Amino acid sequence: KQWYQRRVAITAGVRKKLLLDTSAKSLFGSAKDKCRLTKDRYWLILQRTQRHDLFTPPVPGAITQSNKFDLQTVEQVLGQQGEHKHTIVLAMLVQIEEGKYFLEDASAHMLVDLSSAKFH
């Protein structure tokens, strides 16, 4: 194996595994490469987060002592009514329009109101 070979996340369907990337390499990537890098990184983080104990569904009959959370996409949150107390969205905070911030993931984007947010 060469030092410049890397593994990429393949997330289509059930095949959530790492495969060898055999495409031509360049020291300076194109815009398409940067987009793919961000997308691959998002999918890897999402898969790892989904396997965390806080997001796995409880086993029937088991005694759970911690709270469980629902890890949902932006599209799922937009399709639901009411308050989301135990819902967490893994998304990027982006500024699509000047002065307006959105949560964006692979499924959709939604406007967020940060006027009452506390920044630390």
Q: What is the pLDDT of residues 90-111, one digit of tens each?
A: 999 999 989 899 999 988 999 9
Q: What is the pLDDT, as a whole number, of residue 16? A: 63
62 pLDDT above the threshold of 60: yes
Q: What is the pLDDT, as a whole number, of residue 15? A: 57
Cα dihedral sign, 94-98-101-103: negative
pTM exceeds 0.75 for this model: no
Residue 80 C-beta-side C-alpha neighbours within 13 Å: 12
- For 68-79, write each residue's pLDDT tens digit: 888 999 999 998
Mapping DSSP onto H, E and C, the string for the chain reads CCCCCEEEEECCCCCCEEEEECCCCCCCCCHHHHHHHHHHHHHHHHHHHHCCCCCCCCCCCCCCCCCCCEEECHHHHHCCCCCCCCEEECCEEEEEECCEEEEECCCCEEEECCCCCCCC
Q: What is the pLDDT, as a whole number, of residue 17? A: 67
- For 1-34, write each residue's pLDDT tens digit: 444 445 554 444 455 666 676 777 777 888 888 8
Q: What is the pLDDT, as a whole number, of residue 1? A: 43
